[in-house]
Amino acid sequence: MPLMLYNTLTRKKEPFRPLDPANVRLYVCGPTVYDFAHIGNARPVIVFDVLFRLLRHLAKKGEWDGGKGETKVTYVRNITDVDDKINARAKEEGVSIGDLTERTTKQFHHDIAALGVLRPTVEPRATDNIPQMIELITTLLRRGHAYEAGGEVLFEVTSMADYGALSNRNLDEQQAGARVAVEPHKRNPGDFVLWKLSTPDEPGWDSPWGRGRPGWHIECSAMSKRYLGEVFDIHCGGLDLIFPHHENEIAQSRCAHGTGVMANVWMHNGFLQVEGQKMSKSLGNFVTINDLLNTDKFGGKKWDGEVLKLAMLQTHYRQPIDWTVKSLEQAAQKLGRWKRIAVPMKTDGALPDQLSPRPLFPLIQNALEDDLNTPKAIAQIDSLINNASREPVVEVSDALRFFGLLRDPYSQTMELTKLEKKLIAQRGAARTNKNWDESDRLRDELAALGVVLKDNKDGTTTWEVQR
Ligand code: AMP
Ligand code: ZN
């Protein structure tokens, strides 16, 4: 069976084929870093990690390159570190914006490490991509899709014939609904900010329109273009991002590049609520990942990140989840059972030799290929255990490793490939020759391969492999 994915854009499940059989390209909107991540934020991290794992698994099997198994999967998940919510929080706390975003980004990484998810290939920060945003906005102005007014550069929604296709709303509906506050400087109420001027105490970057900062939507258009190209395969995020965020990303990217789509497939996870209620600070039912892992506020004990992950995967990613302590208890029980039955790992964490090359067993693969049907995959594991004539059950170990509920099977190799070594050498030469454009180009190429370079003050360059 080919991989079938539900596409919000067409409202259908469709067979998936990458645009480039050598490289499957995936973008997930990442967190805005000003506070602890809550368990709702953990949902896209968890479900799109399963997608990343499945794509890697199929790539290794040669699904898209005639059996060669050389297809790469490039997964980009950004960090939104420029946003008015961040500015407000930094002011409230009396700390610098840089300190706040640094601290919360670290905390985010720390929290999700407990969930056993793979690192994205590239994790760009918005603040490292301001020139790319300025370039996109310049193109939109030149092509007649944007205008300057009232200290802002705005995207003009009426300049795009099919604006609203993702969220299925046309402009008349949007305007009649008057969901968007009427602001006199806007040509249409739905026009949205690409750039806005900053006061001296707000963060800002020099631009052709004065010192200012980007709007939220342009950040993702710029970062996805930089690391994945003008058109790529899959774009993901939570349901709440369909409108306006994703709609506006599409408008910007398509109008700047003159393309028919931004990404071929748009996937959205459903929302999570807590014990039957919307999670909100005012209701006092806000569950952060950190609290769940490190306090006994929920059911009187600390919980393992893997348990949270399994509890979430019991629900299909497009369905809403009502998260309860009871669901954690059930997941903990199940995971405990699975782990007792799975083949034990050697003490060094390595897996028994005979396991490493074996594919994920077909029933689980089939379930996941059906639009990431994780509840079905979980049921398959249970029925396999119930019907197994022997213990330990090696397929359970395979499945656990696949989901990152044991140590990872494809434990991401930290070794550089020949090509990567060559590119690093070429970049070193470009720097020596002060050929900065070439050097930047090679750095980006390496980043897209998961090799992040760091130029040190002493003139040396080191790298970190993130795959
Ligand atoms: P934010 O940091 O608010 O931009 O959110 C980061 C990601 O978490 C986005 O993909 C949101 O759609 C997602 N998200 C936020 N709240 C929830 C929730 N309650 N349930 C599921 N996903 C959520
Ligand atoms: Zn985004």
Q: How many residues does the chain have?
A: 467
Using the mean position of ligand 2's atoms as its centre, give its distance from the Cα of residue 463 in Å.
Answer: 27
Instruction: Name the residue with the closest Cα to ligand 1, atom 17.
Output: 40
Q: What is the CA radius of gyration of the chain?
A: 23
Q: Show Cβ contacts of residue 450 under 8 Å, excluding neighbours closer than 6 positions.
A: 121, 122, 465, 466, 467
**Helical packing angle, 436-448 and 216-228, nearest 10°:** 90
Closest residue by Cα to residue 154 from 177, 185, 200: 185
d(CA 132, CA 92): 30
pLDDT score, position 194? 98
Instruction: Name the residue with the closest Cα to ligand 1, atom 23.
Output: 40
Q: Tell which one of 8, 45, 240 to mutate to probe ligand 1, the residue whose CB is within 8 A of the most ligand atoms.
A: 240
Using the mean position of ligand 1's atoms as its centre, give its distance from the Cα of residue 456 in Å.
Answer: 35
Q: Which two tokens stand for residue 106?
A: 């670290």
Please, which pLDDT band fits residue 398 given cuts at 50, 70 and 90?
confident
Span 401-448, pLDDT tens digits: 889 887 433 333 456 777 788 889 899 999 999 999 889 888 887 877
- Give the pLDDT mean for 183-198: 95
Using the mean position of ligand 2's atoms as its centre, give its distance from the Cα of residue 312 in Å.
Answer: 22
Using the mean position of ligand 2's atoms as its centre, give its distance from the Cα of residue 45 in Å.
Answer: 14
- Closest-approaching ligand to the CA atom of 215: 2
Instruction: Name the residue with the closest Cα to ligand 1, atom 1.
Output: 31
Does the pLDDT at position 119 exceed 70? yes
Q: Which two tokens stand for residue 95?
A: 């700390």
Count how many Cα atoms sit within 13 Å of the Cα of residue 387 in the half-sphere of its side chain: 7
d(CA 393, CA 114): 25
Percent of the chain past pLDDT 70, that is, above it, reads 91
Q: In the block, which residue shows the tokens 């080919």? A: 2
Instruction: Name the residue with the closest Cα to ligand 1, atom 22.
Output: 40
- Give the pLDDT mean for 95-120: 94
Q: Show Cβ contacts of residue 168 under 8 Å, excluding neighbours closer than 6 positions.
A: 11
Instruction: Name the residue with the closest Cα to ligand 1, atom 5.
Output: 31
**Ligand 1 pocket, 271 CB below 6 A?**
yes
**Ligand 1 pocket, 246 CB below 6 A?**
no
**Ligand 1 pocket, 313 CB below 6 A?**
no
Beta-ladder partners of 321: 272
Using the mean position of ligand 2's atoms as its centre, give its distance from the Cα of residue 125 in Å.
Answer: 12
Cis peptide before 214 (omega within 30 of 0): no
> Lowest-confidence range among 104-118, 190-204, 280-294, 416-430?
416-430
d(CA 369, CA 45): 19
Q: In the block, which residue shows the tokens 């205008």? A: 147
d(CA 419, CA 396): 36
Using the mean position of ligand 2's atoms as its centre, give its distance from the Cα of residue 29 in Å.
Answer: 4
Span 298-342, pLDDT tens digits: 999 999 999 999 999 999 999 999 999 999 999 999 999 898 888
Span 172-185, pLDDT tens digits: 666 554 555 568 99
35-67 burial: b if 16+ Cβ within 10 Å, else e: bebbbbbbbbbbbbbbbbbbbbbbbeeebbeee
Which ligand 1 atom is the nearest neighbour of the CA of 33? 2
d(CA 194, CA 411): 40
- Closest-approaching ligand to the CA atom of 237: 1
**Ligand 1 pocket, 31 CB below 6 A?**
yes
- Closest-approaching ligand to the CA atom of 245: 2
C-alpha dihedral over 308, 314, 319, 325, to 10 degrees? Answer: -50
Instruction: Name the residue with the closest Cα to ligand 1, atom 8.
Output: 41
- Closest-approaching ligand to the CA atom of 224: 2
Q: How far is CA 112 from CA 38, 163, 235, 303, in A?
A: 11, 35, 20, 13
d(CA 268, CA 69): 28
pLDDT score, position 407? 46
**Ligand 1 pocket, 104 CB below 6 A?**
no
**Ligand 1 pocket, 124 CB below 6 A?**
no
**Ligand 1 pocket, 318 CB below 6 A?**
no
CA-based max dimension of the chain: 73
Average pLDDT, the chain: 89
**Ligand 1 pocket, 41 CB below 6 A?**
yes
